[in-house]
Each structure stands twice: as C-alpha cells, then as structure tokens.
Amino acid sequence: MGKFADFFKKWARSSSIWPVRYCVACCSTEMAAAMASRFDMERYGVMPVWGPRQADFLMIGGIVTKKAATRIKTIYEQMPEPKYVLALGACTSGGGPYYDSYNAVQDVSEIVPIDVYVPGCPPRPEAILRGIEMIQEMIKKGIRADAPLQVDEKTKLKEVLKSYER
Ligand code: SF4
C-alpha cells in the first residue's frame, strides 16, 4: 500500500471509531455525560454501536466482577481486527474501592489487552475524551497494545506517551 493510502486509511479509521461499551456502576454516568450534548463524544467521530461484530473499540468502565470477565472476553473476541480497548476508572485498573473484594477483577488487562487506561474515580468526561484522543493517536501511528512491539514501534509509543505529558 502506498504511503498516502496508508495515511488515509489510518486517518479515516481514527476518525470513525465505533465503540461497544461494557460500563457499570458510577463510571457509567460519566461515560453517559461524555456522550451527551455538553461533551459530545460524537464530534470525535465516535459512534456507539450495539453489537461487538460491528465495533472496533471496546470501552470498559466500572467494577469488573469475575463473573462478568468471561462476557467481556467474549465481546472482545467477537470484535473484528483491528480493535482497541479503553479502561475507565480505578476499578478497571486496580480494583478501586473493591481492591480486596473476593469477586472483583483487580486488573482488567488480565482479561483483554488494554490500550489506554483513564484514571479517576470516576474519571471526568474530559478525561474520557482525552483517552479517546490517545486511542486516535495510536490508530494513526499504527500502535497496538496487544501486538508484539517492534523496536521502532516502542520508540513511537514513547513519543506518543511523551506528547501526552503536560
Ligand atoms: S472507579 Fe470509582 S467511580 Fe468508577 S465504578 Fe469504580 S468506584 Fe465507581
């Protein structure tokens, strides 16, 4: 594929993300706010779909129980490649207030590969949108969390991460 065609494909893909959501508990209200008129996630080209088979982006928010883990894995596996995953909130990255619960998954990356973590309890809508911008950057640069990183890709990832420092 030519350079321009490759650039165009990545640009188009990053500008038309179709997410499927697994979002429960308090984080789901912030996700709803990010989608509503004030923050308007759709202006980023993010158009929620209702089935994993059409989605290329999985948003996981709220507490993930061990019972739900297999469902999330199934959703992820039903999504076509290439696909990206965003984890919202403290619960998904470290269990949050449920860090010592017998039925809480402590790190959702044990179930599916996570591309971007958005911290917070709950994360504000601005933080969620920032996470989506990071996913868009990864798509444009062709970086995947679940793909084995080559040396030059590691350099790219470092560049991307550095560009997010404020
Ligand atoms: S991270 Fe905090 S706000 Fe989000 S679901 Fe867990 S407890 Fe609720």
Give the separation between CA 16 and CA 49, rounded to whole angstroms. Answer: 12
Strand boundaries in 7-144, DSSP class E = 19-23, 57-61, 84-88, 116-118
Q: Is 99 in the pocket of ligand 1 (CB under 6 A)?
A: no
Report the pLDDT value the prediction gives residue 162, as an integer from 0 to 100.
61
Q: Is 95 in the pocket of ligand 1 (CB under 6 A)?
A: no
Report the pLDDT value the prediction gives residue 148, as an integer from 0 to 100.
46
**The model's pTM:** 0.84
Report the pLDDT value the prediction gives residue 166, as an integer from 0 to 100.
45
Report the pLDDT value the prediction gives residue 31, as an integer from 0 to 100.
92
Q: Is 128 in the pocket of ligand 1 (CB under 6 A)?
A: no
Report the pLDDT value the prediction gives residue 144, as an integer from 0 to 100.
77
Give the chain's length.
Answer: 166
User: What's the sign of the alpha-carbon dihedral 31, 126, 33, 54?
Assistant: negative
Give yes or no for a contact between 49 and 19, defined as CB atoms under 8 angstroms apart.
Answer: yes
pLDDT, tens only, 2-21: 888 988 999 999 999 999 99
Report the pLDDT value the prediction gives residue 4, as an integer from 0 to 100.
86
Alpha carbon of 124 to ligand 1 centroid (Å): 11
Q: Which CATH number fits domain 14-163: 3.50.50.60, 3.40.640.10, 3.40.50.12280, 3.40.50.10800?
A: 3.40.50.12280
Among 49, 41, 46, smallest CA distance to 13 is for 46
Q: What angle do CA 64, 69, 70 make, to 5 degrees?
A: 160
Alpha carbon of 95 to ligand 1 centroid (Å): 9
The enclosing H or E element of 26 equals: helix 25-35
Beta-carbon count within 10 A of 151 CB: 7
What are 109's two structure tokens? 């990356």
What are 55's two structure tokens? 């989605």
Collect the ranges in the chain with pLDDT lower than 50: 148-149, 164, 166
Q: List the domain boundaries for the chain.
A: 14-163
